[in-house]
Structure 1
Amino acid sequence: MVSTTDATPEQVRAALAELADPARAAASARFFKTGPGEYGEGDAFLGVTVPQVRSVAKRFAGLPLDGVRRLLSSAVHEVRLCALVILVGRFDRASRRRARDDAERARLASFYLDAVRRGRVDNWDLVDASADRILGAWLLDPVAAPGAPAMHDLDELVASPDLWQRRVGIMATFAFLKAGDGAPTLRLAPRLLSDPHDLVHTATGWMLRELGARVDRGELEAFLEANAARMPRTMLSYATEHLPAEERARYRAMR
């Protein structure tokens, strides 16, 4: 790990650039739909694998927040991912300390929400690697802190015209599901039934599936009874994935 005083965003970028693979970069650009009019339009890739990104993030775990902010402004996908992995690690360390650092947790949660609103967390893998680990984890166990994220911020995110903010809003509820609490997912999911984007359908269906698997299958079934007829096909498919085949067929027939 590079110390807090030594780490710089330029070092992080250089470390990632050393691992660049042009062939993998081209494949990633296709996989993450970067063509004109696609959800990842204009995103740039180095061709660095996720394990490699995580290894670099571990080396530069002491990067100051201003450096993380500068990395998040990069046009390069893996650079932004590395910044988020550093941020998640920092939040985890603040949460695990014997004397938990709630001031640091509040600061990091606020920093993350600001980055989301500024459009820095702007692809599905970036969202999924960070939303529940920072924003969700904070909201699950918050402390009084001026300006820190609150539950109403999830409502604002799922109502946003921005695809990625909506995905962050529903994915943040994963932290609650892991803790056995399905209420935030059940509160937000109905608002996304008419969402226009498949990437929100997949995330919402995923969280509903986890509701049934981790919290209470009866709560999932009650939601499906009330909403299956108007759920997008992909959302319903994800939500019913762990149910018996005959139940899946019955709910899908309701559409």
Structure 2
Amino acid sequence: MSALQADLRAHATAEDREKTTARLPEGYPVIGVRMKTLFDVAKAHSGMPLDEVSALFDEPEYEARLAAVCVLDIKARAARLPADDRRALCELYLARHDRIDTWDMVDRAAPRVVGQYLMDRPHDPLFTLARSANPHERRTAITAPLYWARYGTPAHLPDLFRLAEALLGDDDVVVAKPVGIALKYAGVLDEPALLSFLETHAARMRRPALRYAVEKLAPAQRSKYGPGR
């Protein structure tokens, strides 16, 4: 057992085990650690080598794997992280994606670990994920580009819109909501580009996606769009 795992277990309580179990799929193994404590533990162990992070993904418990993506995210936030190290983080995330199987694991790490690394590189891995049968891999495909919308320029957005278009018909709520969120932040950076996208695609967008996509538009602009499908 790693030091991080031991630390998590030392902070486990029956109350937190019950709360965590209630919001996860039935039968999902948990340790029982509140989220703030988990983040603090991950931060305290963020210097752990990547082979130990990878080993955490082999653990059955939710908190161990969530801690693994938290460590990746913390490492990716280092201001002067060498490109090779950033690549290693992204590659580990993608290689172990079969063990990243809740929406919050994706959201915790995809923007900085995957999106930041790929922002000025080919985006082929995201288009591959967008075609995956795994809804959490599809969520990564559209959540990673949030980094481009928040920290990039309008020149970084065309592939975000292409990924959103590829996922417009996705019926899984794990995917539909983040499609709308990605479009919303793309619109903050380049509102004319979002309006152009909506002009073409709003009629066939899923309701959750459309609701989030128009959230930051002026009321008069929002009223032009129906509830979606």
Given the two structures, how large is their TM-score scaled by the length of structure 2?
Answer: 0.92
Q: CA deviation at 1:62?
A: 2.1
Q: CA deviation at 1:83?
A: 1.1
1:207 and 2:199 equivalent?
A: no
Q: Which runs of 5+ in 2 are unaligned?
A: none
Q: CA deviation at 1:253?
A: 5.6
Aligned-partner residue type, residue 22 of structure 1: A
Q: 2:89 aligns with which of 89, 102, 108?
A: 108
Do 2:210 and 2:227's aligned partners in 1 also have CA atoms closer than 8 Å? no
Q: CA deviation at 1:245?
A: 2.9
Per the alignment, residue 148 of structure 2 pairs with 176
| Count of residue pairs the alignment pairs up | 226
Q: CA deviation at 1:26?
A: 2.2
* 1:31-81, Cα deviation, whole Å (9 max, x unpaired): 23x13xxxxxx4222232222112111221221211111111111111111
2:54 and 2:228 map into 1 onto residues whose CA distance is 47
Aligned-partner residue type, residue 115 of structure 1: R
Per the alignment, residue 161 of structure 2 pairs with 186
Identity of paired residues, percent? 31
Aligned-partner residue type, residue 132 of structure 1: P
* 1:2-23, Cα deviation, whole Å (9 max, x unpaired): xxxxxxx521111111111222
1:28 and 2:13 equivalent?
A: no
Q: 2:213 aligns with which of 223, 239, 242?
A: 239
* 1:202-255, Cα deviation, whole Å (9 max, x unpaired): 000000011112x11111111111111110111111111122334323201675
Q: RMSD between aligned alpha carbons?
A: 1.7
Structure 1 segment 74-113 matched on structure 2, within 5 A: 74-93=59-78, 96-97=79-80, 100-113=81-94
Q: Which runs of 5+ in 1 are unaligned?
A: 1-8, 36-41, 143-149
Given the two structures, how large is their TM-score scaled by the length of structure 1?
Answer: 0.83
Per the alignment, residue 118 of structure 2 pairs with 139
Q: 1:57 aligns with which of 29, 42, 45?
A: 42
Structure 1 segments, 4+ long, off by >6 Å, are none
1:129 and 2:108 equivalent?
A: yes
2:17 and 2:215 map into 1 onto residues whose CA distance is 32
* 1:138-184, Cα deviation, whole Å (9 max, x unpaired): 11145xxxxxxx41111000010000100001111111111133222
Do 2:164 and 2:179's aligned partners in 1 also have CA atoms closer than 8 Å? yes
